[in-house]
Amino acid sequence: MRVDIWSDLVCPWCYIGKRRFERALARFEHGTSVSLVHRAFQLNPAAPRDHQTDRRAMLMRKYRLTAGQAEDMDARMTDVAAAEGLEYHLEGTVSGNTADGHQLVHLAREQGRQDTMLERLYRAYFVEQRSIFDQHSLVTLAEEEGLEAASVADALRENRYAAAVEQDVEAARRLGISGVPFFLIDERVALSGAQSPDVFLDALTRHHSVGL
C-alpha cells in the first residue's frame, strides 16, 4: 500500500496531520507494508525566494484579521499541536518561499531519508524558530540529518529538484487539491485535512480489506 501526502513546510496543520497519521499507522495491523511518499505543495508560491516576511502579519493581511484575532488563532493552534505532543512556538516566526525546502525533501527521498528530513524541517520551523527558506540554513539542517553538506549545497544551487517539486504541484492541480495536508491511498482513497488517527486508521483498514 502506498500513501502520497501533499503538504507545505509552513503549514501548521500539515505537521499535526503528519503526527496523527503516524499514530494511525502505528495501530494499523499492516503498517509495516505501507510506503509513504511526501509530495510538495506551496500555499504561497508567489513568495519571493530571497525575502522573508513576518508570518503573523502575513496572516493578518491574508485573512483580514486584527492583531488580537491573529494572536488568538496562534494560541488555539499551539494548543492543538500540544495535544499531539508538538511544542509550537509561533510568535515572531517568519514565512517565505518553500521551494528550496521541498527540493531538499526530494533529495532526501533518493537517500531513503525523506520522512526524517521532512520531520526535521517541521521541527526547525515550528518548534525551534529556525529558517527553512535560505539555502545556507537548509544545508545545515540537512547535514544534521546525515546528508552530505556539499552535495546538498550543489543540488540546491543548481535547482536540481525543481522539476520534481513542480510535478508534485501539478499533480495536486490535476487532483483538485486546494488545501493541505492531503492524503491519497493507492491513488484511490482521498482524505483532506489533519483528520483524527481514528479516521486515518479506518480508511487504511477499509482500503486494505477491499484490496484483499
Q: Is the dihedral of CA 142, 39, 24, 181 positive or negative?
A: positive
Reply yes or no on whether the pLDDT at 93 is more than 70. Answer: yes
pLDDT, one tens digit per residue, over 106-165 is 999 999 999 999 999 999 999 999 999 999 999 999 999 999 999 999 999 999 999 999
pLDDT at 162: 98
Domains and CATH numbers, the chain: 2-211 (3.40.30.10)
Portion of the chain with pLDDT greater than 70, in percent: 99
How many Cβ atoms sit within 10 Å of the Cβ of residue 135?
A: 17
pLDDT class of 212 with cuts at 50, 70, 90:
low
pLDDT at 211: 64
Beta strand pairing call for 182-185 and 189-192: antiparallel
Reply yes or no on whether the pLDDT at 42 is more than 90. Answer: yes
Instruction: Give pairs for 20-26: CB < 8 Å, separation 24+.
Output: 20/84, 20/194, 20/195, 20/196, 20/197, 20/200, 21/183, 21/197, 21/200, 23/197, 23/200, 24/197, 24/198, 24/199, 24/200, 24/201, 24/204, 25/200, 25/204
Mean pLDDT of the chain: 96
